[in-house]
Amino acid sequence: MNNYKVYALVSSHEPNNFRYIGITKQSLNTRLYKHLYVSKFLKTHKDCWIQKHIKLGNNILMILIETVFTEECAKEREKYYIKHYKEIGQKLTNATDGGDGLNNPTEETLRKLRGRIPHNKGKKHSMEARIKMSQAGKGRKFSKEHKQKIRESNLNKQFSEEHKNNLSNAKLKYHNERKMNGIDNWNKGRKSSLETRKKLSNINLGKKMSEESKLKMRESARKNSEERKLKGIPHPNKGKKRSEETKLKLSIAGKNRKLTEEHKRKIRESHIGKKHTKETIEKIKLTKRNKLPRNRLENILFG
């Protein structure tokens, strides 16, 4: 886990004159680059000081004052050093007394940044750059703290309808391009390991969908069914047959499964008024006649 750093900004012209005190969890080089970049667009006291010395041909340097382990401690030490250096006569450019947080820009800063076009907007990475980024990210493992922060940042996040449509259209365009070029889906033919399947199973055990989610799924299935009928497209599972091994697994999974009274009632209601065609009745009879005893089926499949 990275430590928090308390640092000072100075000019190479006056290396002993601290002009800004800050805290960061990033490397000092990365944080210094951000200070230099942002100073091109903002007009705060600190940014004007940075640009002034750059124009004079001086270098902006970053000096490490102290390293601590927690964010709370870093904020306290930032407050301490800002107060200390002001008392001894250093002309700091800090707009506050410190402890504002690692990423807590003021309203003035946000207002100035709004509407500014990012420097990389519209640019596309080359295939070579993308391959390098892909290789650099392989095998990278996030800490539990990092995972928790990602989870919390995504909780209750809601996309606008326009955003959802854009994502849907982009995904559709991507799949159409792959089909036109004869490229299979990236996960076609891949099989999850038993360990992965067990993890997925444990994650979903006991999960219950809200009534709203169920309603959305039913509505989506109904729309898909209507669209297929209009276009004359058969159901994706039509004509497919399960292997005897799959049938047995499904049978075993369903054994001893207890349905709630509400579930039973819904099944009964769904069958009221339903009538099988003669063809379906004949198929059911034929299936029952040809059905192997369970013990023989297990011996055939599993020896």
Q: Is the pLDDT of residue 19 over 90?
A: yes
Question: Among 53, 31, 51, 33, which residue's Cα sits nearest to residue 43?
Answer: 51
Residue 19: how many CB atoms within 10 A of its CB?
21
46, 39 in Cβ contact below 8 A? yes
Sort residue 96 into left (φ over 0), alpha (ψ -120 to 50) or beta.
beta
Q: How do residues 46-87 score in pLDDT, each as one tens digit?
A: 999 999 999 999 999 999 999 988 888 888 899 899 989 988
For domain 4-113, the question of CATH label 3.40.50 is answered with: no
Q: CA dist 252 to 9, 246, 258, 288, Å?
A: 69, 10, 13, 18
Name the residue with tokens 């109904």.
222
What are the boundaries of each domain within the chain?
A: 4-113, 209-240, 242-251+278-303
Placement of tokens 């999850």 in the chain: 192
Neighbours of 130 (CB within 10 A): 11
Cβ atoms < 10 Å from Cβ of 279: 8
- Cα angle 259, 263, 265; round to 5: 120
- Which of 89-103, 125-139, 197-211, 258-272 is predicted with the least confidence, judged by mean pLDDT? 89-103
To the question of pTM greater than 0.75 for the whole model, the response is no
Q: How confident is the model at residue 104 (pLDDT cuts 50, 70, 90)?
A: low
Range list of β-strands (E), 12-102: 20-24, 60-68
